[in-house]
Structure 1
């Protein structure tokens, strides 16, 4: 039997997904960060059909690095699905005009978030120092969510920015890419003292060395719930990459596997309530 929150209850949101078109003439790939051009089309209609099957109401779409800074396709999607989709853009934070570009994307195209990438960039000191301070300020002024795709050794830098920008919402992608059974989780949990930092319980199939219900991730996710609270965790799939491990997951079943003791009220927040509030998808 489905839990009561799934039957006419609170909203369910996939807080982390990507889409790209099979029409490479209109929407040509322009990869960055060493990412390859996709071999299989994953258009938005495919994702929306999977959302319907899984009873997921809304989705936060992250600009894929396979399109780099060309947002043509995601802008097209946002224009066609404004009530169901929120967009997160990519802007190179080291460009002199980066704050202005971010403001234009948010004000003209309706983006509700920014993604910054430290993954594959060594210590990525630039991400947290004066070189990118104008970008962080612009994001705070725009009241958008900054998602961070970073590696565990870069987590300590987040605390500095979170303290400097207490009104800025920061979301750590994919549990900070912390592997189960490692000490890296301590750096992620240390961020819980910053009330403006949230954590995405996403990409579980990639993080786990096991198949569903990802029992090896349970201690780590339970620790995040204990430290951050249910109000600062967001469920996401990392679609379409999640399909490498199986079908698009049922949100309740996936969360129940890593948070078996969570209450229905807590699951409702993690499965969609928090993302709906942060990204304006209510």
Structure 2
């Protein structure tokens, strides 16, 4: 019997897990978006962009708008990743998580070696629900201090707070992180955006793939390219390889929200990525779209 696209999407995104014998209701798996950004917008006097921010989005992408899109798209929880325009000023993230009332958690951004970072990180972790501390390595002028005590100290501080380390990097910089992944083997490491497979040489990306051998590394299927959009990169081979290397218990989905999002467009992005996971079982897709994240981040 053939399966229509509508039937497949229903299976991939709303799998009935169990029936409640008393109520007759069907439970559906939790859905978590593990990667999105919120912005107050350019010119907002209460939440201004940092002078060192590399870009400044003009339009707001607010937590109120996010929660509305989540409700319409069937997303139960979301992780707000603190974006670079604010640098290490987390006031807007605090605002968003307060508005979220348990539906939202956050990833913070601090810089190794910057004075006061450790104290600010500890204070922020006391005030708001965080899941990770993010470290960037893609701008040659703003690389972390690889091989130096400052980077180890930041990693250790994140670990001691019970948070994951979240890495956003180009594959050519992966080598600089590997020793810390091995040293702090009990600390979860989240890799953003499929490890950015289309930026750099294939050999550089092979190192990222090799991290599947470390049990503490989790890969995020976020910012998954759409082959219909420029520059027309087909993500299917990469996604399939990641599912083979990491398995559903160490893969998490994220994406689809921005200032222009609607409930319909937000859900459509999840449907698109579900199509790339058609080779997996219903149970494994349920893990990737929320089960894994719910377990790691203690959601629901």
TM-score (norm 1): 0.88
| Count of aligned pairs | 276
CA-to-partner distance for each residue in 1:124-145, whole Å, 9 max, x for gaps? 3614542211111111111111
Residues 64 and 99, structure 2, Cα contact 8 Å, conserved in 1: no
Match of residue 232 from structure 1: 250
Hey, what does 1:143 align to over in structure 2? Answer: 162
Judge conservation of contact 2:256–2:266 (CA < 8 Å) in 1.
Answer: no
The secondary structure found in structure 2 opposite 1:86 is strand
Query: Is 2:44 aligned against 1:34?
Result: no
**What is the SS of the residue equivalent to 1:29?**
coil
The alpha carbon displacement at 1:45 in A equals 1.3
- Return the alpha-carbon distance in structure 1 between the equivalents of residues 99 and 254 of structure 2: 22
Residue 268 of structure 1 aligns with which residue?
A: 286
**Structure 2, gaps ≥5 residues long:** 1-6, 17-25
Q: Could you tell me how far apart the structure 1 residues matched to 2:51 and 2:196 are?
A: 22
Report the TM-score, using the length of structure 2 for normalisation.
0.83
**Structure 2: distance between partners of 1:266 and 1:159:** 28
Report the CA distance between 1:209 and its aligned residue. Answer: 4.1
Q: Deviations over 1:57-110 (max 9, x none)?
A: 110001111222221121012122231000111112221432222111112333
Does structure 2 conserve the Cα–Cα contact (< 8 Å) formed by 1:201 and 1:234? Answer: yes
1:194 counterpart = 2:214:
yes
User: Does residue 24 of the first structure (1) align with residue 44 of the second (2)?
Assistant: yes
- Looking at structure 1, the residues matched to 54 and 111 of structure 2 have their Cα atoms a distance apart, in angstroms, of 15
**Over alpha carbons, which structure has the higher Rg?**
2
The match for 2:120 among 69, 78, 101 is 101
RMSD over aligned CA atoms reads 2.6
Indicate the residue corresponding to 1:254 in structure 2: 272
Distance in 1 (CA, whole Å) between partners of 2:75 and 2:258 is 15
